[in-house]
Amino acid sequence: MTTKKRTRKRVKNSPLTSILVVVTGEPSDETAVRFACELLDEQHSKLYILYIIEVEMTLPIDAEISTSTAKGEEILDQMEDISKMYKCETQAELLQSRRSGLAIVQESVDKQVDAIVLGIPYQEMYGSFSIGNIAPYILKNAPCRVFLEREPIPPRSINS
pLDDT grade, residue 111 (50/70/90)?
A: very high
Within a domain: 52: yes
Tally of domains within the chain: 1
Within a domain: 108: yes
pLDDT digits (tens, 9 = 90+) for 82-102: 999 988 899 999 999 999 999
pLDDT grade, residue 146 (50/70/90)?
A: very high
Q: What is the CATH number of the domain that holds 78?
A: 3.40.50.620
On whether the CB atoms of residues 48 and 83 are closer than 8 A, the answer is: no
Within a domain: 86: yes
| Residue 80 exposure: Cα atoms within 13 Å on the Cβ side | 14
Question: What is the rounded distance in angstroms from the CA atom of residue 28 to the CA atom of residue 2?
Answer: 58
* DSSP one-letter string for 43-82: SS-EEEEEEEEEPPTTS-TT---HHHHHHHHHHHHHHHHH
On whether the CB atoms of residues 102 and 115 are closer than 8 A, the answer is: no
pTM of the model: 0.83
Within a domain: 158: no
Identity of the amino acid at 50: L
Question: What is the rounded distance in angstroms from the CA atom of residue 110 to the CA atom of residue 35?
Answer: 22
Domain that holds residue 61: 25-113+135-150
28 compared with 129, residue with greater pLDDT: 28
pLDDT grade, residue 110 (50/70/90)?
A: very high
Most confident range (mean pLDDT) of 65-69, 87-91, 93-97, 132-136 is 93-97
Within a domain: 94: yes
pLDDT grade, residue 5 (50/70/90)?
A: very low
Within a domain: 11: no
